[in-house]
Amino acid sequence: MLRYTIRRLAQLVLVVFVLSMLLFGWLRMLPGGPVSALLGDRATPEARAQLESQLGLDQPIWVQYGKFLLRAFTGDFGTSTGVERGAPALEVFLTRFPATIELSLFALLLAVAVGIPLGYLAARRRGGWWDNISITWSLVGVAVPVFFLAFLLKFVFAVQLGVLPASGRQDTGIQATHVTGFYILDGLLTREWDASWNAFVHLILPAIALSTIPFAVIFRITRAAVLDVLDEDYVRTARAKGLSAMVIRGRHVLHNAMLPVVTTIGLQTGALLAGAVLTERVFNIAGIGQAVAVGFERKDFPVLQVVILAAAMVYVLVNLLVDLSYALIDPRLRAR
């Protein structure tokens, strides 16, 4: 188990290293660049040349990459040139990451809390009206683009009805104290209940929008997995043994059906991060998705590098955790 974890972590290092190289080269191959973004429509050829040499952009790319790598080992990933000019790129990432985590976690919780029970129920009543409605619903969930749903939700609940806020993470008038950057948690820690509540209210619409795709996927996988398990011999045996329905459902059906579901949840982190880019844009949440969008617009290489590498790391780590959690669910895997 430990060796397995170490091997996977070593893989992670390799993935990040290779990705950093590709990313570094690819970003610099894009037309335009930080110099145009910094100087804008007021640039003169002379000023451009001066800036390029000052920032070392006129050096060969492997020299630039080598310098980047050396600095990265000391924890210096450069300074933002566009998203938050002058702030260390790592800091830009760290101040924005909680927003994305909060949103993604919330959306995932919502998807799991709704998707698993619905999937289980649909499988139990296969072919019934409940099953049919749920399947149609989950299809709609996958088919409707996240940003469209986000716009729709915002228009109805924020603009028309005015019951929920249209954008942002918290009302600015609240002047909440920030400790961790997770706004709901911060309010609980500092006992500013209203701040927590306000942050929670701001999360509702974006979380619903973001949760639709993972919800639909989790629902479908749960349904299929439960259907599979229901046909297994051991379930029939358990029934024959006269175990109570509760025990059969809990210990035998649901427990065994969870394996593919947990894998799916792990894989959905990628979808969540991708969906967060759009959701954050529509709801104006200053998370890493927005940082990537603005970063591309303004060619903010340092921020893009940190954010994309970190997102890749999170993805790999979450999937490692998922694999490790198999052991918890399925004791047979623990032996290996």
Partner 1 sequence: MRAPSRPLRSTSVRRRTAVVGFTCALAVAAAGCAESQRGEGGGEGGSLTFGAAGAPDLFDPFYASDGETFRVTRQIMEGLVGFKEGTADVEPELAERWEHSPDGKTWTFHLRQGVKFHDGTDFNGEAVCKNFERWYDQTGAGQNNALSYYWIENFGGFSDGAKPSLYASCESPDATTATVHLTRATSKFPDLLGLPSFSMQSPTAMERYKANDVRAVGDSFAYPEYASAHPTGTGPFKFASYDSGNAAIRLERNDEYWGEKAKLNDLTFRIIPDETTRKQELESGGIDAYDFPNAADLKALRDAGNKVEVRDPFNIMYLGITQKNNPALRDLRVRQALAHAVDRENLVKANLPEGAEVAKEFYPDTVDGYADDVQQYPHDPARAKQLLAEAGASDLTLNFYWPAEVTRPYMPDPQGIFNALAEDLREAGITVNAVSKPWNGGYIDDVDNARADVFLLGWTGDYNTPDNFIGTFFGTPDNRFYTAASPWGEQLATELRTADAEPDDARREALYQEVNRKLLSDYLPAVPLSHSPPAIVVSERVQGLVPSPLTAEEFAGVSVTG
154 or 249, CB closer to partner 1? 154
Stretch 197-226 residues interacting with partner 1 (CB under 8 A) = 197-198, 200
Q: 29, 175, 231, 244: which one contacts partner 1 (CB under 8 A)? A: 175
Q: 223, 249, 252, 298: which one contacts partner 1 (CB under 8 A)? A: 298
CA-CA distance, 162 to 153, in Å (whole number)? 11
Stretch 5-34 residues interacting with partner 1 (CB under 8 A) = 30-34
Q: Which one, of 20, 33, 26, lies nearest residue 68 by Cα?
A: 20
**177 phi and psi angles, rounded to 5 deg:** -85, 135
Are 300 and 34 within 8 A, CB to CB?
yes
Residue 71 near partner 1 by CB under 8 A:
yes
92 or 238, CB closer to partner 1? 92
CA-CA distance, 5 to 17, in Å (whole number)? 18
77 or 215, CB closer to partner 1? 77
Residue 190 near partner 1 by CB under 8 A:
no
CA-CA distance, 50 to 314, in Å (whole number)? 38
Q: Could you give the string, one character per residue 41-60, with x where binding to partner 1 holds by CB under 8 A and - elsewhere? A: xxxxx-xx-xx--xxxx---
**Helices and strands counted in the chain (H then E):** 15, 0
132 or 180, CB closer to partner 1? 180
Size of the residue set binding partner 1 (CB under 8 A): 86
Least CB distance from residue 243 to partner 1, whole Å? 15
Least CB distance from residue 316 to partner 1, whole Å? 25
Least CB distance from residue 104 to partner 1, whole Å? 16
Least CB distance from residue 265 to partner 1, whole Å? 17
> Residue 284 CA to chain centroid, in angstroms?
16
33 or 270, CB closer to partner 1? 33
Residue 327 near partner 1 by CB under 8 A:
no
DSSP symbols for 18-68 = HHHHHHHHHHHHSSS-HHHHHHGGG--HHHHHHHHHHTTTTS-HHHHHHHH
Helices (H), 74-182: 89-124, 129-143, 146-153
Are 290 and 300 within 8 A, CB to CB?
no
Q: 167, 263, 319, 325: which one contacts partner 1 (CB under 8 A)? A: 167
Are 206 and 103 within 8 A, CB to CB?
yes
Q: 15, 16, 39, 259: which one contacts partner 1 (CB under 8 A)? A: 39
Residue 106 near partner 1 by CB under 8 A:
no
35 or 110, CB closer to partner 1? 35
Query: 228-232 contacts: CB < 8 A, separation 24 or more?
Result: 228/257, 229/253, 229/256, 229/257, 230/123, 230/124, 232/256
Residue 162 near partner 1 by CB under 8 A:
yes
Residue 138 near partner 1 by CB under 8 A:
no
Stretch 229-288 residues interacting with partner 1 (CB under 8 A) = 281-284, 286
Least CB distance from residue 206 to partner 1, whole Å? 12
